[in-house]
Structure formats: structure tokens, C-alpha cells
Structure 1
Amino acid sequence: MAADASLMLEAALEQMDDIIAGSKAVTELTNGLCELGSPIDVGSLQALQLAEELRLALELQEDGDRGREALRSRLPCSTSHALLEWLERGTSPSNNETHQERLERLEGDKESLVLQVSVLTEQVEAQGEKIRDLEASLEENSDKLLSTEEMLQQELLSRTSLETQKLDLMDEVSCLKLKLVSMEEEQDPAHRDDKQRKAEVPKPLSPCLPPSRHPSLPPSGRGSISLSFYPSFFLSCSLSPSLTQQNHVVVRACKTPVPYMHVHCVRIKRTQSGSFRADSLPHGDFKRRGVRSTTGPSVAHMGDTAHDVNTPFSKWSCDQVCVWLEDYGLGQYIPMAKQWVSSGQTLLSASPHDFEKELGIKHPLHRKKLQLGLHAISSASSETSAKLDHVWVTRWLDDIGLPQYKDQFHEARVDGRMLQYLTVDDLLLLKVSSQLHHLSIKCAIRVLHANKFNPNCLKRRPGEESQPSPSEVMQWSNHRVMEWLRAVDLAEYAPNLRGSGVHGGLIILEQSFNEESLAVLLSIPPQKTLLRRHLATNFHSLVGAQAQRDKVHFLESPGYAPLSTTAKVRPKKLGFSGFSHLRKKRPDDSTDYVCPLEPLQDESLRNGTRQPRTDLGPVQDGDTEGREQVGPPLC
């Protein structure tokens, strides 16, 4: 009995423990669910308690898996199915997808991903092919660019050499023309006239040559012969405007000996008017010191109008004055001068208004040129600049690097004398508006003053000097500066100086012109600092220490303004006070001149040094005292 009671008590205690354990689990689960906020009723709690008891009972099975298996076999099928359905439904996905469906879906996703990977792989391969093609095209274009640059460099070098040869040939032609002019000046006109008077009159040559082959042969029995009979026997001299003096035609002997043919000279003269008539000479007769019958309006005889050097200009006849106008480069006004001028005194006593009204001189620089020439004749002053004609001035513009103004200067007939009295208004009238070009012309005129207007003072070719002095650099032409750039390894930028107005005088004499100005004119980019530093080093070595100190001092001065290569010179606006130009200016009132210069500055210019500029009138080579202004007020 005691044993049975013990067993019953033990079983009761175990049930109590199970109940207590189940209550704790239900309490914990209830607390957890309540924390989640889910609504729980009493039936649900009982179901949860029973499920927990089932779990505990299964865990307490002594036989382990065998006991659980036996217990499962004794469980009714409906109960097991209900529990399985309840458990599977609780663990099924939210979209009610079964494992098979999910597997099929994942396999489809895998296939689509594989397809996408293959497509992307093909696209990557295609892009790689395109990249390789572009790289090959880039390499090919790079090779073409390099070859094109090499061809461009060769073309630039060839063009530079051709330009150099062209300039050399032009210089040689200019030298030959100047030599021809100097040789003609050396000849004594009186000696030539005496030889012409003593020359024999050639006899007729009709017995020697058939008349049918020479229709210009005069009739037999005449004592003279037309010059047009021997067109191949003449050595034609240059009739270009560079020869303002009288040209000569020399009769050469024929290869076939012709008897009684003597070499003689016939003086002919160039004219710009068409007033010469062929019927002014006897037909078929040869007149000594006349003209050829084939010259037409380009030449006119001047043997009867040649003036005597001892005769005052005021007593010259109308023909002599016309000859002087032709020699002076104003031949286009000869027709009206023949109608108005009675003697040289007519021009000396005329006013600028008379020149415009009676001679039709509308160009103000032509009036200025005429008055400068008349002033030089009336004052009997001898100026070296008077020997430089307007054709020389056009070549001078080539030398200083301003060939673009040759047509304007040639049309205005600007000669060496006019350069002395050139004003800012004159340059504006000549369409020179650049401030840099004004400075270039001013410095070039100062170089002419320093060299007494020597026509050959500018150097066009490199000499034998290894290190030229500033006085030698001051005489460099624009072409010589370009040669210097080629010598310092800047040949590719040298062509940029054409038409810039840069010459040795501008480099040395103009304080505002420095290495930065030259770099801008050469179009050297600012980012090429090494190249600009190389240019600055050679520039400082070229100008010398004294000129460089002057430029630095000018750069540090308070009123310094950088030299602009694009700045323009504007004409002054005249107010009511501007009418003072109508009065006669004083001799020292010469602020309008482009290059006011004192005689004492000549020596300083020759030495390559600078002196403070004073606004005095230009230098007259022959007379430094008693100068009188004959510039703009006369026009």
C-alpha cells in the first residue's frame, strides 16, 4: 500500500511540475505576444499550452527517437494531417508559393541572368572592338598630324628662304639703281653738252641698207636720220620713277660695220602728261637733243628749256618751271602751270590758296612739297635730304618694315625733305594710324638725321661683326632684324615681323619698346615662358647695357604706359582755341613734327646713347642757324 501511495504521489508531483512549467511557458509566450501587440484569446492560449506540453512530452520520452516513432504511429491520421497542415501553413511564404514553384521561379531567374550576362559580354566585346578601332584611328591620325607638321615646317623654311632671296634681289636692284643715279650725277652736264655740240652729224645710211626692210628710214638726200631707225642699238636706261633726273639713251654700234655711224647721246626726259605731240618735230628730220619718234607721251624734249644754274628762279621761264616741276615729281600739274605761270616769280609769290585754285593741287602734301621746294630754292639752302626722292622713300619704307604704306607715300610724293618736316597730321593723312608705326617712322627719321640722310645708312645683310654695338644695331633694317632672329634660333617667328615696323632704330631709340613688345609682335604665346626668357636674354645682349638701363628706368617711371601694338593715334579735336593754327607759327613752335631733333643729338645717336628729347624743329643739314618752319602752316 505504501508503495502504491508513493507512486501516486510521485505522479501527482510530476503533473504539478508539468502544469507549472506549462503555465510559465504560456505566460512567457503570452507576454511576448502581448509585447508584439497581437490579439490573443483564451482558446489560443490553450492551444499554445497544449503544443508546449506536446513538445515537453516528446522531449521527456525515454526511448528517444524510437519512442517518438511509436508514439507517431499510434497517432490518428486525421490528427497528424491536421497538425502537419497547420504547421506547413504557418511556415509557407506570404504569397502562398510552394517549394516547387519557388524552385521553378529561381531557375527562370537564373536563366534570365545567364542570358543577360551573355548579352553584356557581347556588348563588352563590341565596345572593346570599337575602342581598338578608335585607338588605331587615333594613332593613324597622330602619324598624319606629325607628317603634316613636318611638311609645314619644310614649307615655312622654304618660304623663308625664298623671301630672303627675294629681299636680297630687291636690295641688289635698289643698289644698282642708286649706283646708276650716282654715276649720272657724277657726269658733268656741261661737259656732255659740249660733246654733243662737237659731235658729227651722221650721214645717210640708205646706200648700205635696203629701204624696204626699214620703213622708218628717211628719204635719201636728207642730212639726218630718225632715231627710230635703230631701235636695237639703244641701251635702254631705267625710266622708272626712281630716276627723277634726265635719262640717256646710248646708241651702240651694230654688229655689221656701218660707215659714218658715231656714238652719241640724246637727252630725253620722262613726263607724266600726255601733252607731247609727235607733230611738234619736222617729219623725217633728226633734231639734236630731241626725242625718238616712238617714245609717245612718255618723253619730251628739254634741250630748249634747260635752265641755267646761274639764273635766279624768279627769272625762270614757264618752260623751265615746268621742267623743274617734272623733275620734282609734280609733273601732273604741268598743263595748268603752262596756263598760269609766267615766270618763277609767279610760284614764289603765290599762296597755298593760289596753288589749289590755279594749279589744281588738291592734295595737301603736294602743296607742302611744292612750298618746301620753293623755300629751299629761295633761301639757297643746301640740304642732304633733298637728294632723296620719293622713290627712295618707298624703298626706305621697305627697309623699316612698313611696305603697306608705299602706295600712300608714293601718291603723296613724300621725299627726303618732306620727311624732315613730317607731322602727325601728315601721317594720319597718309593713313598711318598705328601708334607703333608712328614711333617706327620717328625713330627711322632720327637714324637718318644721325647719318646726315645717307641713302645707304641702313644695313640689310649680316656683317662680319660677332657682337654688334648699339650704334650698329641702330642702323639695322627690318630684314636684318629678321636675320638676327634666325641667328638666335627663332626662325619660325621671324616672318611675323613683316609689316610690323620693327627695325634697329626702334629697338635702340624707343624706350617703351622692350622684349615684351617684341614677343607680342612675334606672336609668342605667354605660356611659353622658356622661349620668352630666351628672347629676353638675347634682346638685352643686343641693345647693350646702357640702353637696357634706360628702358628699365623708363619702365619704373611713375607715368609709364606699356607700349600697345594695337593702339591708334587719333586726330586732335579743335575747339575755339584751335583756330590759333591760322596764324603764323613761331620758328620754335614745332610740337607737331613727328621727329623734332636738335643738332646736338646727332653725336649721341651715332654713339647709340639717348638724350632727353626737346621739341624743337627738324635739323637742316646745311644751315643750323636761323631755321624757319615751313611745315604744316604753309599747307
Structure 2
Amino acid sequence: MLFNLVRIYGVCIYTYTLLTQTGVFIKPLSISCLMVLFQSNGHSSDTVYQERLSRVESDKECLLLQVSVLSDQVEVQGEKIRDLDMCLEEHKEKLNATEEKLQEELLSKSSLETQKLELMTEVSSLRRKLANVERDCRDQEVYKDMTPHADIMSEVLFSSSLLQGFYMFWSNPSRLKRSQSTSLDMDQTETEFQRGGVRATAGPRLGWSRDMQQKNVDAPFAQWSREEVCVWLQELGLGLHVAQAQQWIRSGETLLQASQHDLDKELGIKHPLHRKKLQLALQALGLDEGDGKGKLDHNWVTRWLDDIGLPQYKSQFEEGKVDGRMLHYMTVDDLLSLKVGSVLHHLSIKRAIQVLRLNFYEPNCLRRRPSDENNITPAEISQWTNHRVMEWLRSADLAEYAPNLRGSGVHGGLMVLEPRFNVETLALLLNIPPNKTLLRRHLATHFHLLVGSEAQRSKQQCLENPDYSLLTATAKVKPRRLSFGGFGTMRKKRQEESEEYVCPMDVEMPQSTCFQSGLRLYEDDLDQLEQK
């Protein structure tokens, strides 16, 4: 306070000196007034400073309070963050455990699917055995039913021969001669005795035996007897209709002249594939087919479905009695009636039939086991079965994905001959995730080395086609709709549409030299088919 007074007094003296030097006279009263003024200003400045200081102190207290509140909130938020970190760790552990369980479930699912396919294979084999047993039982019943008829016929023949002998004896006793065992004609000249014939009186004693009914293969089918035709139907796999055929058929000519309505009404053939099988077999009689498709029965075809990776259709093919000849002339409508609706499975059957054509329908042309395959050709790869393809995947370090090809229809012929089947489709069927790029690249390298440059070139051309769509296991075949035009051309259009073969007769064949031998034979067969 004293310092302030001294300062004010000094200021007043300095001001007075300045005014005196300028000639201005100031009374002592004025000096006192100035001193009072300065003193009042000093007191006012101290008040302002005091107010400011008090405000600063109050602000400081508020800030301290806010800092304490914020520190408490930071501690609370830190505790919450720690709790969230702990929850995150727990959820990560649960997620890892869930992923492990999911992997275990996927492995168990794949094993269950494998067991399911094995059980389906066993069930189909048991069904086939049951069908064979039922067929044998029906054959025995048919033979038992036919035995009385044979007895009656033999008695009638015996009686007629006796009457004829008595008549010739009384009319001309000198002409009576001992008849041969195989003939009832009394006018024939005597010949040497031949074994193997059946006397007219042998029927009641021996009955009707299948072993004695030998088909005369040199005779035309129209001259075959009723029993020979029935045996032929039985061997064809149509033993279900033998009982009705025994009542209706008189000779082979009956079947040759029969219409579709007659087959439905007289033989009771309601299944369209049974009717087609019979018609194809009748057309093939007396013809040299040039290959072995007529020797492949329906039992071989069911085993062939296992080889191409489609065992799930064995019961339908067994019911339809599909044989090698029917495979050659199989149409899209036939496959749809067999409940084969997948585009991939249609292409699988198409290329499998093409492989059979290239190998002359040789029953053992498919390769089921690995062999010495250092310099293997695409023609040999096309003969790989579904099981052999899985063995190739195991050799390429893809054993964990190989079981996914069971029931997929993937075989060597599909991989080599089908342009739409590429490595993307194979990776999709193997269930390799798209994000595993290195694994897919590894598969692509082995696939391209396997199928060869020519097949890879055709696949690349198909891939560059604007209408190309990825081949998947879920794509379905759309049934063809009949185009309704004039009534005069309706039957012709239906016939043309019904002949849409699964593997067309003019299908594009591979140009590689390893396929040329089979290609020449196939072209010869195609020329013969066009000449008909």
C-alpha cells in the first residue's frame, strides 16, 4: 500500500513538473485533486485485481472438480474396456470351439454320405439278387404251367400217330415201316438212327424241359416256335411277360408282325423301355452289329453305373432292364423317365456311351485300378472309372477332397471328352472353397497336365463362347415341349423330337491319333446306320 502511494506521489510530481515547464500554472488545489484522483484510480484497480483473482480461484476450483469427475469416468470406462476384452476373448474361444465342432460335423457328414452310398450299393445288389430269385421262381412256375400242356400235346401226337399208323396199315400194309424217333412222317425213306431226338411218347415221361428246347439259330426268327421265343424273351430279361407270351405267341412271326398296341394288350408291356428293348432286339436279329453292345445285358449296365460314378440310378436302370443296345440308342426322354434330371449326369452318361463306342463296347474296357501309366494317353484316361479318378486325386495330394466325387458322375471320359467340364467345375464338385486360390491352382496344374493340350484347347474355346455357363451339379434338364403345327406333320415332328439321343450318332469325336482306331470303326457303323 505504501508502495502504491509513493508511486502515485511520484507520478503527481512528474506531471506538475511537465506543466510548469510548459508555462501552465497549476494551483496547489489542483495538485491535491490530482493526488486524490490517482488515489481513487489505485483503489479501483486493486478492486478489479481482487475480483479477477477471486474469479480465477473459483474457476480453478471448478476445474479441479471437473478433473476429479473426469478421472472417475475414465476409471469406469477403463473397467468397461477390460470387461469387453474379457468377453471378446471368451467369444473367440467359443468361436474356435464351434469351428472345430463344425469341421468334425463335416467330416462325420462326409463319412455318413460314404456309408450311405455303400449301403445304396449293397441295397441295389440285394435288389438285383432278389430280382434274379423272383425271375427264377417265375421261370419255375412258367415251366410247371407249361408241363401239362406239353403232356397233353404229346398225348395228342401219340394218338394221332397211332391212328395214322392203323390207317396206313389197313390201307396198304406193305408200306408200314418203323418210324424214326425225330419224325412222324410215315412216307419218309429210312435213314440212319440219330441220337438227340425226342419221341412222341417222351412228353408224358419227361415233361417240358428248357434244356431240350434248343433254338435253331440258323432258322429265321419268324420260324421259331413258341417255346423258343419264350426262352429268347427270358434271356433278354423280359421273363415277366413270358406267361402272357405263352398264351398269345404262336411263332416268331407273331412278334415280328406285332404293333405297339399288340405289345401293350397281349403281352402286357406297359413300361416304355421294355417295349423299346424288345423292338431294338427284334431289329438286331440276323444283323451283324459289328461290336459287342448286344452282349451287354442289364446286369452289366448296373455295374457300369458304379464305374461312371452314378450308383444312385441303379434301381431305375434295373427296373427298365437297360442293356448295351439301349445305351447306344438312349434318348433324353429315356433318361428323364429314368429320373435322371441333372445336366451334369446327362453329360456324364453321354461321354460314357461315347467311350463305349470308341472301345467297340468291350465289357472290360474301363480302367478301375492304377497301372503302369508313365506315358498315358488321353484315350486311356478316358477309360478311367470314377474310382480311378479318386485315386488320381489322392496321388495329387488331394485325398481329403476325393470322397466328394462319390455319386457325382465324374469319370475319365467326362474329363477328357466334354468341353464344358473344366477345372472350375471339378473344384466346385470337390467342395474346394474359392478363397483357397493356391489349392485351386494346384488342382488346375495337375488337371491340365492330365487331360492334355488338345482337350484343354477345346475347353478354352468353350469357355470363350458368349453363351457359356458354368457346369454345376444343380442345373436341371428342361424337358422338350412338343411343337404344335399342322396335324399332318404332328407325327413326324414327334418322331424327330423323340430321337434326340443322349449321345448323338454324329457326336464330335476327338481328333487325337490315340482315338483314331475306334473313330474309324464308329464312322463305319454310322455309315451303315445312314444306309438303313
> Could you say which TM-score interval applies, normalised by the shorter chain?
0.5 to 0.7
The match for 1:545 among 430, 435, 453 is: 453
Cα gap change, 1:139/1:582 in structure 2, threshold over 3 Å: closer, same or farther? closer
- Between the aligned partners of 2:318 and 2:216, the Cα distance in structure 1 is 28
SS of structure 1 residue aligned to 2:210: coil
Shift of 1:415: 0.8
Alignment correspondent of 1:224: none
> Are positions 1:403 and 2:311 aligned together?
yes
1:553-632 alignment runs, 5 A limit? 553=461, 555=463, 561-565=468-472, 566=475, 568-576=477-485, 580=489, 582-583=491-492, 592-597=500-505, 607-608=514-515, 619=525, 625=528
2:79 pairs with one of 117, 120, 125? 125
Task: Label 1:147 to 1:364 Cα distance change in 2 as closer, same or farther (>3 A).
Answer: closer
Query: Is the alpha carbon distance of 1:51 and 1:390 closer, same or farther for their aligned partners in structure 2, counting shifts above 3 Å?
Result: farther
Cα distance, 1:327 vs. partner?
A: 2.7
516 and 601 in structure 1: CA distance in 2 versus 1, 3 angstrom threshold: closer
For 1:523 and 1:578, how far apart are their aligned partners in 2? 51
Instruction: Tell me which of 294, 309, 320 is aligned to 2:216.
Output: 309
**Residue 397 (structure 2) aligns with:** 489
Matches within 5 A, 1:169-568: 239=129, 241=131, 270-272=136-138, 302-303=209-210, 306-310=213-217, 312-377=220-285, 379=287, 384-553=292-461, 555=463, 561-565=468-472, 566=475, 568=477
Task: Tell whether the 8 Å contact from 2:308 to 2:348 is kept in structure 1 after alignment.
Answer: yes
Q: Which amino acid aligns with 1:496?
A: N
Q: Separation in 1 of the partners of 2:338 and 2:25? A: 127
Cα deviation code 1:224-269 (max 9, x no counterpart): xxxxxxxxxxxxxx9555x6xxx9xxxxxxxxxxxxxxxxxxxx97
Distance of 1:320 and 1:598 partners within structure 2: 37
CA 1:592–1:581: 2 relative to 1, 3 Å: farther
Q: Partners in 2 of 1:457 and 1:419 — Cα distance?
A: 16
Aligned to 2:10: none
User: In structure 2, do the counterparts of structure 1 residues 548 and 126 end up closer, same or farther at CA, with 3 Å as the change threshold?
Assistant: closer
CA distance in 1, matches of 2:346, 2:225: 41
8 Å Cα contact 2:358/2:518 also seen in 1: no
**Structure richer in helix, relative to its length:** 2
**Distance across 1 between alignment mates of 2:17 and 2:264:** 155
Aligned partners of 2:73, 2:524: CA distance in 1, in Å? Answer: 90
Q: Deviations over 1:384-424 (max 9, x none)?
A: 21221112212211211222322322222111111111122
The answer as to whether partners of 2:360 and 2:518 remain within 8 angstroms in 1 is: no
Secondary structure of 2:482's counterpart equals coil
Tell which deviates more after alignment, 460-469 or 392-401: 460-469
Residues 391, 410 of structure 1: 8 Å contact kept: yes
Which structure carries more relative contact order (alpha carbon 8 Å, separation 6+)?
2
1:321 and 1:343 in contact (8 A); partners too: yes
Q: Is the 8 A contact 2:420 2:471 kept in 1?
A: no
Aligned partners of 2:422 and 2:210: how far apart in 1? Answer: 56
Which shows bigger deviation, 107-116 or 566-575?
107-116
Task: Assess if the C-alpha contact under 8 Å between 2:462 and 2:468 holds in 1.
Answer: no
Give the match for residue 4 of structure 2.
none
- Match in the other structure for 1:26: none
Instruction: Tell me how far apart the structure 2 counterparts of residues 356 and 459 of structure 1 sit (CA, whole Å).
Output: 41
TM-aligned CA distance change 1:527 to 1:125, over 3 Å: closer
**Aligned match for 1:140, one of 72, 93, 115:** 93
**Structure 2 counterpart of 1:575, which letter?**
F
1:11 to 1:468, Cα distance in 2 relative to 1, 3 A: closer
**Secondary structure of residue in 1 paired with 2:361:** coil
With normalisation by structure 2, the TM-score equals 0.67
Residues of 2 paired with 1:625 and 1:560: CA distance?
A: 35
Q: In structure 1, how many angstroms separate the alpha carbons of the residues matched to 2:306 and 2:214?
A: 35
Alpha-carbon contact 2:427-2:440 (below 8 Å) kept: yes
Residue 157 (structure 1) shift: 9.1
1:475 Cα offset (Å): 0.3
- Is the CA contact (8 Å cut-off) linking 1:424 and 1:594 kept in structure 2? yes
Structure 1: segments with no counterpart, 5+ residues: 1-8, 24-48, 59-79, 178-237, 248-267, 283-299, 630-635
Which consecutive unaligned segments of at least 5 residues does structure 2 have?
1-15, 149-206
- Structure 1 residues 609 and 14: alpha-carbon distance in aligned structure 2, compared to 1, 3 A threshold: farther
Q: Whose Rg is larger?
A: 1
Cα 1:102/1:526, change in 2 over 3 Å: closer
Q: CA RMSD for the aligned pairs?
A: 5.1
SS at structure 1 position matched to 2:400: helix
In 2, the alpha carbon distance for the partners of 1:610 and 1:383 equals 13
CA contact (8 A) 1:434 1:567 kept: yes
Letter in 1 for 2:405: L
Q: Aligned equivalents of 1:138 and 1:18: distance in 2?
A: 95
Aligned counterparts of 2:46 and 2:211: Cα–Cα separation in 1: 144
Q: Is the 8 A contact 2:274 2:320 kept in 1?
A: yes
Q: Which residue of 2 aligns with 1:44?
A: none
1:302–1:599 CA distance, 2 compared to 1 (3 A): farther
Deviation string 1:185-217 (CA, Å, 9 cap, x unpaired) is xxxxxxxxxxxxxxxxxxxxxxxxxxxxxxxxx
Post-superposition Cα deviations, 1:58-116, rounded to whole Å, max 9, x if no partner, equal: 6xxxxxxxxxxxxxxxxxxxxx8x996x777777869xxx94x9867864763564255
- The amino acid that maps onto 1:140 is E
The TM-score, its normalising length taken from structure 1, stands at 0.57
State the match for 2:160 in structure 1.
Answer: none
Partner of 2:152: none
**Using the alignment, how far apart are the partners of 1:504 and 1:361 within structure 2?**
37
